[in-house]
Chains A and B, each alone.
Chain A
Amino acid sequence: MRTRHAGAAVLAALTALTLAACGDSSEIGADSTTTDPEQADTNDAGDTIRIGIKYDQPGLGYQDGSEYTGFDVDVATYVAEQLGYSEDQIEWVEAPSAQRETMLQTNQVDMIFATYSITDERKESVAFAGPYFVAGQDLLVAEDNTDITGPESLEGKNLCSVTGSTSAQRIKDEYAAGVQLLERPGYAECVTALTAGQVDAVTTDDIILAGLAAQPANQGQVKVVGAPFSTERYGVGLPQDNDVCEDVNAAIEQMIEDGSWEEFVTANTEGTGYTPNASENPPSVDACA
C-alpha cells in the first residue's frame, strides 16, 4: 500500500510540473506577441524576438554548442537589428522544415529564416518577406569526380537527398530514368554515403551543399558542381496577419546595399570556391501582400 501511495504522489508531482510548464510557455508567448513595429525602435530592454532557424545545417543555420552560426543566422541578426532588437534580445528557436507553417500559425515564433522557399502553396498559410537569397538545386560530388557536370550527366548514377524534400521529389519526377535515389533523414548522412562511395552525388540547394563542403571534416573531399537547375527563393516566413513585412523588406534592401549581404555569403562558404548564381543574386524583394 505504501509504495502505491508513493507512486501516486510522484505522478501528481509530475502532472503539476507538466501543467506548470504549459502555463509558463503560454505566458512567454503572450508577452512577446506585443512586438509592434512602431514600438520596435524604442522597445524596452526586456523585450525579445523569437526567430526560427535550422539547427542542423552548417553554413546556414547551425547550433554549435551555445553559439548559432550560418548565413540565415547572420541575415536574421542583421534584420532584427534594423527592427530594433539587439543580438541578445533574439531568442533562437529550432524550425524543422515540416513544422515551419505550424510554428508561424500557432505563434510559436515571430519570424523564420530557415532556407524557406517562397511558394504559392505556402502563401496560403503564411506570409513571406524577401527573398534575401536565390538558391538553386545543385550537386555535391567527390573532389576527384570529373564525369558529373550537371543534371544531364546523371544517367546511371546514384544520388542521395533528404527524405520527402522538394529536391528528392524533383529527382524522382524529372530525372527518375536511370537515376537511383537514396533518401536519408539528414544531409550529413548523405555526405557519409558520398564519402564512402556508395552514392555518386548529393543533391539539394547549392548554398546548403556549400555549407556542407565548408565543414572542416569534409574539406578537400567534396565539391559543389556549380550548375544549378532550379530556383529556390529564400524568404522570411511571417504570420499571415503580420505588420512587419515592409520593415523586413527595407532591412533586406539595406543589407544588400551596404555590402553586408555579400560579406555574409563569403564568410559562410569560405574555402569551397562557391559563388551564388550571379544572374539571380543579389535578389530584389517582392512587394508585401
Chain B
Amino acid sequence: MGDYLSQIAELFSQYDIVGAFWVNIQLTFWAAILSLVLGTVLALMRISPIVSLQWAGAAYVNVLRNTPLTIIMTFMVLGIWTQLQISLAQDFATNFFRFAVVGLTIYHAAFVCEAIRSGVNTVPLGQAEAARAIGLPFLPAARLIILPQAFRGAIAPLGNTLIALLKNSTVAVAASVSTETATLMREMIENNSSVIFGIFFIFAIGFVILVIPIGLLTTSLSTRLAVRR
C-alpha cells in the first residue's frame, strides 16, 4: 500500500496535473461567458412576438441540444479545420483551444437558453402586461422588466448548466486540445497502467473539488437573489 501511494505521489511530481485542470477552468470560463451571451439572445428570440425568430430559436435549441458534444467537437476539427481549412489561429495550441471554446459555446448556449426561459416563466404575466400598458416595446420591456427578474429566477438551472459545462470541458480532447485533463489522463494511463485506479481517482476528486463550490455558490445565490412574491 505504501508502495502504491508513493507511485501516486510520483505522478504528481512527474505530470502537471494542476496545470491540466487550469486549462479546463480556462475553457469553462470563456465558454460560459460566450454561451451566456448566445443563450440570452436565443431566449429573447424564443419569447419574442416574431414567429420566424421563435421558430429559428426553437430549431437551434432542438438541434444542438440533441447533438452529442463529442460529435460537435470532432466536427470542429475534422469538418471545419481539416476539410474547410478554416483556422482560428496560426499556432496549433491556440487554434484548437478556440475551436473547443466555440464547440462548448454553441452546445451549451442551447441549455442556457432553456434555463433563462424557465426563469422567464417565473415572472408573472401581469409584469409583461404592465410593461406593455405603460408603452414599452418588446426589447425595452425585456431588458428593464422581464430579464432582470428572469435571471434571478434562473440562477439554479444556470448553475447546473455551468457544472455540466465544467465537466464537459474534458470533451475538448475530441477537439485536439492536448493540455487538458482528459489528454493528460490518457498519457498517464499509457505510461503508468499499474496505478490506473489511482489515476482515475485523482481526476474524479479534482472535479469534485471544483464542482462543489459552484453548487454551494449557486444554491446560496438563488435563495438570496430570488424575487419574493
Chain B 177-209 residues near chain A, CB threshold 8 A: 178, 183-187, 189-194, 196
Q: How far is the CB of A161 from chain B (nearest CB, A)?
A: 10
Number of A residues near B (Cβ < 8 Å) is 29
Known interface pairs A125-B194, A181-B178. Does A169 touch B187 (Cβ–Cβ under 8 Å)?
A: yes
Residues from chain B with a CB closer than 8 A to the CB of A166 are: 190-191
Which of A7-15, A189-197, A261-269 is the contact stretch?
Answer: A189-197
**What class of interface size applies to chain B in its complex with A?**
20 to 34
Which of A30-38, A45-53, A95-103 is the contact stretch?
Answer: A95-103
Q: How far is the CB of B87 from chain A (nearest CB, A)?
A: 9
**Chain A 94-124, CB within 8 Å of chain B: the 1/0 string?**
0001101110000000000000000001101
Which of B34-42, B78-86, B110-118, B213-221 is the contact stretch?
Answer: B78-86
Cβ A183 vs Cβ B183 within 8 A: yes
Cβ B178 vs Cβ A193 within 8 A: no
Distance, CA A196 to CA B85, complexed state (A) = 9
Q: How far is the CB of A181 from chain B (nearest CB, A)?
A: 7
**Chain A 177-207, CB within 8 Å of chain B: the 1/0 string?**
0001111110001001100111000000000
Residues from chain B with a CB closer than 8 A to the CB of A101 are: 193-194, 196
Which among B93, B184, B187, B193 has the highest number of chain A CB atoms within 10 Å? Answer: B193
Distance, CA A25 to CA B180, complexed state (A) = 36
Cβ B193 vs Cβ A164 within 8 A: no
Known interface pairs A158-B92, A189-B78, A192-B78. Does A163 touch B193 (Cβ–Cβ under 8 Å)?
A: no
Can you spell out 28 A-B residue pairs with CB atoms less than 8 angstroms apart?
Answer: A98-B190, A100-B193, A101-B194, A101-B196, A102-B193, A121-B192, A122-B193, A158-B92, A163-B176, A164-B186, A164-B187, A164-B190, A165-B190, A168-B178, A169-B187, A169-B190, A172-B178, A180-B92, A180-B93, A181-B92, A181-B178, A182-B96, A182-B176, A183-B173, A183-B176, A192-B78, A196-B82, A196-B85
Interface positions of A (Cβ within 8 A of B): 97-98, 100-102, 121-122, 124-125, 158, 163-166, 168-169, 172, 180-185, 189, 192-193, 196-198
